[in-house]
Amino acid sequence: MSKMSSNHPQKLPAAFAPNRVSRPGWLEIIVGLVVFAIVGFGVGSQLRRLGLDPVVYGLVFTSLSGIAGIAGFAAAALLRIRSLSAFGVRRVSRRWLLIAIGVGLVAFVLKGLAVLGWIQITGNTNNVQGVYAEGGSGGVLSLVLATLFLGIVTPLGEDLFFRGVVANALLRYGSFIGVVGSTVIFALCHGINIVFPAAVVAGLATAEVFRRSGSVWTAVIVHVVFNLPTIPVMVAADMG
């Protein structure tokens, strides 16, 4: 009979080893999307029934995308990994932050061209985001709040989820699937309307910057630059 040393524990076969997940996968995508839809679309549909003041309704609605994104990200992060760095929440250099600002400016210009192209092709000029302008049209305070919600909270929530979870998970299949696949999901969540081409531009820019930098904060910066002028421009256009 051979002796077995008690000082060295046996190594378990791979099939019996604990399942260590180092990055999000399809489970995180699906659960996150369900939570995102419940908070974003479910709550949004109920708001219409409350008969809120148009400015109040616009402000609440403007904050929903960011809140839904944060909720989707939280659900995915708490599911099984519970490590923020696994979702790209990690420090990034100043150089990357400057690059992100530059990419955001370029994407902002491309957004305008993409929307013009969409209008030329489809003839659809219906602005489905007019509710955002209503939220910012109640004076200086409402303008500031609506701008913060769409320009800061929305990029934070959407990029934590769509880049930190969705793009991150799909990048295991390669850069093309990760960047383009997450962009398609992101754009479809905005609907097939005049916002769709803008969402495609934002999705491609943020996902690619996230892929190259490895940090979700670069995507957030790109998105902030991309979104920040939206409310002031829409409110000014309505005033004109």
> What secondary structure does DSSP assign to the chain, as a single string?
-----SSSPPPPPGGGS-----S--HHHHHHHHHHHHIIIIIHHHHHGGG---HHHHHHHHHHHHHHHHHHHHHHHHTTTT--GGGGT-----HHHHHHHHHHHHHHHHHHHHHHHHHHHHH-----TTHHHHHHT-SSHHHHHHHHHIIIIIHHHHHHHHIIIIIIHHHGGG-HHIIIIIHHHHHHHTT-SSTHHHHHHHHHHHHHHHHHHH--HHHHHHHHHHHHTTHHHHHHHHHH-
Asked whether residue 141 is assigned to any structural domain, the reply reads yes
Residue 108 belongs to some domain of the structure: yes
Total domain count for the chain?
A: 1
pTM, two decimals, is: 0.87
pLDDT of residue 52: 82
Q: Which residue range(s) make up the domain with 140?
A: 23-239
| Sign of the torsion formed by the C-alpha atoms of 172, 205, 156 and 213 | positive
Percentage of residues in the chain with pLDDT exceeding 70? Answer: 90
Q: Is 11 a domain residue? A: no
Q: Classify residue 7: in a domain, yes or no.
A: no
Q: Per the domain annotation, does 14 fall within a domain?
A: no
In-domain check, residue 76: yes
Tokens of 7: 């000082």
At residue 82, the pLDDT reads 85
The tens digit of pLDDT for each residue in 151-209 reads 999 999 999 999 999 999 999 999 999 999 999 999 999 999 999 999 999 999 999 99
Rounded distance, CA 87 to CA 206, Å?
Answer: 14
Asked if residue 223 is part of any domain, the answer here is yes
Q: Residue 184 carries which side chain, given as an amino acid letter?
A: V
Q: What is the pLDDT of residue 30?
A: 97
For residue 9, is it within any domain?
A: no
Stretches in the chain below the pLDDT threshold 50: 1-19, 240
pLDDT, position 2? 42
